[in-house]
Chain A
Amino acid sequence: MSDPGGAQLLSRIGSADDIAALRSLRDEVHEQMEALLSEQPVEQFYAILNEAHDALIKRTIALAEADLARMGNSPPVPYAYLLFGSGGREEQTLSSDQDSGLIYDDPDDEAERETARQYFADLTQLIVETLQQVGYPPCEGNVISTNPDWCLSLSDWDNKLNGWFEEPDWERVRYLLIVADSRSIYGEDELLEKLKGLFFSDMLENPVIVRHMLNNTMRHKVLVGVFGQLLRERYGEDAGSLDVKYGAYIPMVNAIRMMSIRAGLRETSTLARIHSLHLMGKLSADDASAYTEAFRLFMRLRLMATERSLDGMYMNNGKLSSRKLTKELTDQLKTGLRIGKKLQRRVFRQMNGMF
């Protein structure tokens, strides 16, 4: 890229003033990043890419806010727009969907409460729709800011969290793990900090939750067999490919997240979490660097997974086709997967050992 770090592109995103402009910038990001894929170290690549995604999303929110302002509506209370999932972890690939939520400050009275509810319903509606046009498909699991369950005032969020902690069935534990990866991308960051404060104090009061989280966290198996062989897809159009997303990347994200939650870490990116865990003495230097290496590989492979474009959205099935799995890559992958599997086992033992 003639534009190292994409500074110029970022500033163009920051000054785009309609959807069409954003869409063409998104396509430009895609093209430029694809060209960069082989040149950049993977962390740097993700950093640039996520900065670009962030800029696009921020600009979309700002434009939506401005649209509503033109109709005479401005935010009745401060708010923060949240990203969950890979967006929250700053690990979005070239094709990531929208996992989002919204948190706003507590309104003073009942009337204002209704105004706020209505305003943020309109705002999120506009944002999500615009982002779709810019090429971000909505979250299939309906974890998205237009869903009233994920667009709440601070005290409602607090109640919600307490409810989840009190009755930790499988689905609610999943929500808690989603919140653990949340990041404020726009607005009043302080609000999310408060929410995270509530999250971690609830954690301390409900140590049992760890066991529930553990089951949820371990459900995706690392796709390496007893003989060190890759467990590939056997049937269908993707036969022979490896599900890098759910068989390598997600298990590792989950295991590291589990350790981080236990340690009270507020970082969301997996590499940052590993680093902090090491600084806290929870991981030895050797382990931390082995995990970092493995995770970097998985991040790189995720970018190589089969992409498809559907209705103008950037999509990715998370699977690495056998054509791209060279001998060298396969060997690296096997090593990485074995490390991932060991990490999973370690987390499982550690967490179980607590009770």
Chain B
Amino acid sequence: MVKKVAVALGVLSLVFPTMAFAADEASSQMLNMGLNTLWILIAAILVILMQGGFILLEAGSTRMKNAGHVAGKTIFTIGLCSLVYWAVGYGITFGTDNVENETLSNIIGWGSFFFDPSIAGDPLNENYPTSVFFLFQLAFAAISLSIAWGGFAERAKLSSYLVFTVLFVAVIYPVVAHWIWGGGWLAQDGAQDYAGSTVVHLTGALAAFAATVLLKPRIGKFNKDGSANEILGHNQVYSALSVLLLWVGWFGFNAGSAVSVGDGFFAYVAFNTQLGAAAGAVAALLISWLITGKADITTTLNGALAGLVAITASCAFVDPWAAVVIGLVAGVLVFFSVKFFEKIKVDDPIYALSVHGMAGIWGTLANGIFATQVLADKVGVGQGGLIDTGSWHQLWVQFESVVVVGAYVLGASFLILGVMKMVMGFRVTEEQEIIGLDLSEHGTYGYPEQMKKAQQNL
């Protein structure tokens, strides 16, 4: 590493001779920090851009009458989420004021509220400035929140988005993130979740599950005899584009989680990510073709996302072949999961429970099976999985983290949303749901010409 930097600086010094004077130990650390910062910021930007994917995904998978609301509320909640995470969420995840009290610091962090980072990093003691780390972590919190909106789709009141954003970003997400990434008790157990199959995706999906159960299915989703109707989204091209945006953004999500440029390990993470996503898309199309006789587009899109979600936990811990297997299984899993939720009459408008929940669980457990000792040592978290080491230990730890996180998020979400439902009401009225949230919550349509025409025909 140092050698490479020296060579690079040597070359640079030919171009800018004055730089040669600065080519000492301190400036090589400075360069290291600069490159890390640049990469983490790019990754944060990519992850924030994934919100564009969520806008298109949710809008494309739902009906025209809600499109403006879907898009607008995403921008609003990203804004609100940023402020809450700055004020409270970051401190609960990474605050170190309570570090002496081990019992407490195992459960939550404390400190760094209304986060005020130093204006520049300290190259001798830090790998990157905390400002860039904050942005990156904030982007993750916002993704988890947007996943939760899947359970709200097409029928929740706008005010419930406001209240739930505050509570999710202050209380639910930061606690889980602290447990696994902030030095909490699961981190100490060696739980492997490289970029957040559990922390981000499962957390968001379980909040979505609580929401969709409390809200009850959309009008017209299920018939009296229990059979499901297909409520088609209004734009499949949006949905497909959303998957591409998310896929590209995911390189920031996973490879960015290396939070360093270093020896280029982050590129290996990106490489595995691509394999997982690809396998997920292929497996999902094929399984739907085999089982239903039709190659379903929605299933294919879900498969790509499920592959991405599953590989998120394991992208740094497994060999390439395992990344393919993890993606393939995720693609098949998501197909059956969608059928399963329909069967138990849970309305999952944008498939968040299957894509982020089921695939998130699978991805987290997959570490316990496929992680290799070499890579676990390299990342410095946990140990190799069942296949490489023959030991069940890591699988048990992974299982534990899924169960514990699941129980916490489910409990907290049901509690918060249940209280909200009692106190302020959670769902719009039947009439509002039928005319659409664009009109009922915002007073204007996302597609004014088409919707006005449609209304005249009513």
* Shortest Cβ distance from B293 into A: residue: A231
Are B227 and A225 neighbours in the complex by a CB distance under 8 Å? no
Q: A232-253 interface mask toward B, CB cutoff 8 Å, 1 = contact, 0 = none?
A: 0011111110000000000000
Q: State whether the Cβ of A334 lies closer than 8 Å to any Cβ in chain B.
A: no
Are A234 and B293 neighbours in the complex by a CB distance under 8 Å? no
Q: State whether the Cβ of B223 lies closer than 8 Å to any Cβ in chain A.
A: yes
**A163→B225 CA distance, assembly (Å):** 50
Nearest CB in chain B: distance from A319 CB, A: 12
Contact for B292 among A225, A236, A238, A239, CB less than 8 A: A225
Interface residue ranges of B192-243 to A (CB < 8 Å): 223, 225, 227-230
Nearest CB in chain A: distance from B217 CB, A: 14
Q: State whether the Cβ of A111 lies closer than 8 Å to any Cβ in chain B.
A: no
**A168→B13 CA distance, assembly (Å):** 77
Q: A206-238 interface mask toward B, CB cutoff 8 Å, 1 = contact, 0 = none?
A: 000000000000000101011101010011111
Are B230 and A236 neighbours in the complex by a CB distance under 8 Å? yes
**A225→B287 CA distance, assembly (Å):** 11
Nearest CB in chain B: distance from A29 CB, A: 31
Contact for B290 among A221, A225, A235, CB less than 8 A: A225
Contact for A226 among B225, B228, B229, B290, CB less than 8 A: B290
Q: State whether the Cβ of B423 lies closer than 8 Å to any Cβ in chain A.
A: no
**A234→B293 CA distance, assembly (Å):** 11
Instruction: Please name all residues of chain A whose beta carbon is closer than 8 Å to the beta carbon of B290 when the two chains form the complex.
Output: 225-227
Instruction: Please name all residues of chain B whose beta carbon is closer than 8 Å to the beta carbon of A225 when the two chains form the complex.
Output: 290-293
Instruction: Please name all residues of chain B whose beta carbon is closer than 8 Å to the beta carbon of A240 when the two chains form the complex.
Output: 227
* Shortest Cβ distance from B224 into A: residue: A237
Residue pairs across A and B with Cβ atoms less than 8 A apart, 29 shown, are A221-B293, A223-B293, A225-B290, A225-B291, A225-B292, A225-B293, A226-B290, A227-B290, A227-B291, A229-B291, A231-B292, A231-B293, A234-B228, A234-B230, A234-B292, A235-B227, A235-B228, A235-B230, A236-B223, A236-B227, A236-B229, A237-B223, A237-B225, A237-B227, A238-B227, A239-B223, A239-B227, A239-B228, A240-B227
**A292→B19 CA distance, assembly (Å):** 90
Which are the 3 A-B pairs with shortest beta-carbon distances? A239-B227, A235-B230, A231-B293
**A221→B295 CA distance, assembly (Å):** 14
**A238→B227 CA distance, assembly (Å):** 8
Instruction: Please name all residues of chain B whose beta carbon is closer than 8 Å to the beta carbon of A231 when the two chains form the complex.
Output: 292-293
* Shortest Cβ distance from A234 into B: residue: B292
**A237→B222 CA distance, assembly (Å):** 9
**A307→B434 CA distance, assembly (Å):** 32
**A294→B293 CA distance, assembly (Å):** 21
Chain A residues in the interface with B (C-beta under 8 A): 221, 223, 225-227, 229, 231, 234-240
Known: A231-B292, A239-B227. 20 other contacts (CB 8 A): A223-B293, A225-B290, A225-B291, A225-B292, A226-B290, A227-B290, A227-B291, A229-B291, A231-B293, A234-B292, A235-B227, A235-B228, A235-B229, A236-B229, A236-B230, A237-B225, A238-B227, A239-B223, A239-B228, A240-B227
Nearest CB in chain A: distance from B343 CB, A: 10
Interface residue ranges of B287-302 to A (CB < 8 Å): 290-293
Query: Interface size (B, Cβ < 8 Å)?
Result: 10
Instruction: Please name all residues of chain A whose beta carbon is closer than 8 Å to the beta carbon of B225 when the two chains form the complex.
Output: 237
Q: B275-315 interface mask toward A, CB cutoff 8 Å, 1 = contact, 0 = none?
A: 00000000000000011110000000000000000000000
* Shortest Cβ distance from A226 into B: residue: B290
**A223→B293 CA distance, assembly (Å):** 8
**A227→B229 CA distance, assembly (Å):** 25
- Interface centre among B223, B225, B227, by most chain A C-beta atoms within 10 angstroms, is B227
Instruction: Please name all residues of chain B whose beta carbon is closer than 8 Å to the beta carbon of A239 when the two chains form the complex.
Output: 223, 227-228
Instruction: Please name all residues of chain B whose beta carbon is closer than 8 Å to the beta carbon of A221 when the two chains form the complex.
Output: 293
Nearest CB in chain B: distance from A322 CB, A: 10
Instruction: Please name all residues of chain A whose beta carbon is closer than 8 Å to the beta carbon of B229 when the two chains form the complex.
Output: 235-236
Nearest CB in chain A: distance from B351 CB, A: 15
* Shortest Cβ distance from B230 into A: residue: A235
Nearest CB in chain A: distance from B387 CB, A: 28
Nearest CB in chain B: distance from A50 CB, A: 32
Nearest CB in chain B: distance from A306 CB, A: 13
**A221→B294 CA distance, assembly (Å):** 11
**A240→B223 CA distance, assembly (Å):** 13
Instruction: Please name all residues of chain A whose beta carbon is closer than 8 Å to the beta carbon of B228 when the two chains form the complex.
Output: 234-235, 239
Nearest CB in chain A: distance from B237 CB, A: 22
Instruction: Please name all residues of chain B whose beta carbon is closer than 8 Å to the beta carbon of A229 when the two chains form the complex.
Output: 291
**A221→B228 CA distance, assembly (Å):** 24
Instruction: Please name all residues of chain A whose beta carbon is closer than 8 Å to the beta carbon of B293 when the two chains form the complex.
Output: 221, 223, 225, 231
**A234→B296 CA distance, assembly (Å):** 12
Interface residue ranges of B227-268 to A (CB < 8 Å): 227-230
- Interface centre among B223, B228, B293, by most chain A C-beta atoms within 10 angstroms, is B293
Instruction: Please name all residues of chain A whose beta carbon is closer than 8 Å to the beta carbon of B292 when the two chains form the complex.
Output: 225, 231, 234
* Shortest Cβ distance from B225 into A: residue: A237
Instruction: Please name all residues of chain B whose beta carbon is closer than 8 Å to the beta carbon of A234 when the two chains form the complex.
Output: 228, 230, 292
* Shortest Cβ distance from A239 into B: residue: B227
**A221→B230 CA distance, assembly (Å):** 22
**A239→B339 CA distance, assembly (Å):** 12
Nearest CB in chain A: distance from B412 CB, A: 34
Instruction: Please name all residues of chain B whose beta carbon is closer than 8 Å to the beta carbon of A238 when the two chains form the complex.
Output: 227
**A237→B292 CA distance, assembly (Å):** 18
Nearest CB in chain B: distance from A340 CB, A: 14
Instruction: Please name all residues of chain B whose beta carbon is closer than 8 Å to the beta carbon of A227 when the two chains form the complex.
Output: 290-291
**A89→B228 CA distance, assembly (Å):** 36
Instruction: Please name all residues of chain B whose beta carbon is closer than 8 Å to the beta carbon of A226 when the two chains form the complex.
Output: 290
* Shortest Cβ distance from B291 into A: residue: A225
**A108→B225 CA distance, assembly (Å):** 63
**A235→B298 CA distance, assembly (Å):** 15
* Shortest Cβ distance from B227 into A: residue: A239
**A235→B293 CA distance, assembly (Å):** 15
**A234→B292 CA distance, assembly (Å):** 9
**A329→B358 CA distance, assembly (Å):** 35
**A231→B289 CA distance, assembly (Å):** 11
Nearest CB in chain A: distance from B206 CB, A: 26
**A183→B293 CA distance, assembly (Å):** 35
Nearest CB in chain A: distance from B334 CB, A: 16
Interface residue ranges of B54-107 to A (CB < 8 Å): none
Nearest CB in chain B: distance from A325 CB, A: 15
- Interface centre among A227, A234, A236, A240, by most chain B C-beta atoms within 10 angstroms, is A234
* Shortest Cβ distance from A238 into B: residue: B227
**A239→B228 CA distance, assembly (Å):** 7
Q: B368-395 interface mask toward A, CB cutoff 8 Å, 1 = contact, 0 = none?
A: 0000000000000000000000000000
Nearest CB in chain A: distance from B62 CB, A: 17
Nearest CB in chain B: distance from A312 CB, A: 26
**A236→B228 CA distance, assembly (Å):** 6
Nearest CB in chain A: distance from B92 CB, A: 43
**A225→B225 CA distance, assembly (Å):** 26
Nearest CB in chain A: distance from B204 CB, A: 27
**A221→B290 CA distance, assembly (Å):** 14
**A226→B291 CA distance, assembly (Å):** 7
Instruction: Please name all residues of chain A whose beta carbon is closer than 8 Å to the beta carbon of B230 when the two chains form the complex.
Output: 234-236
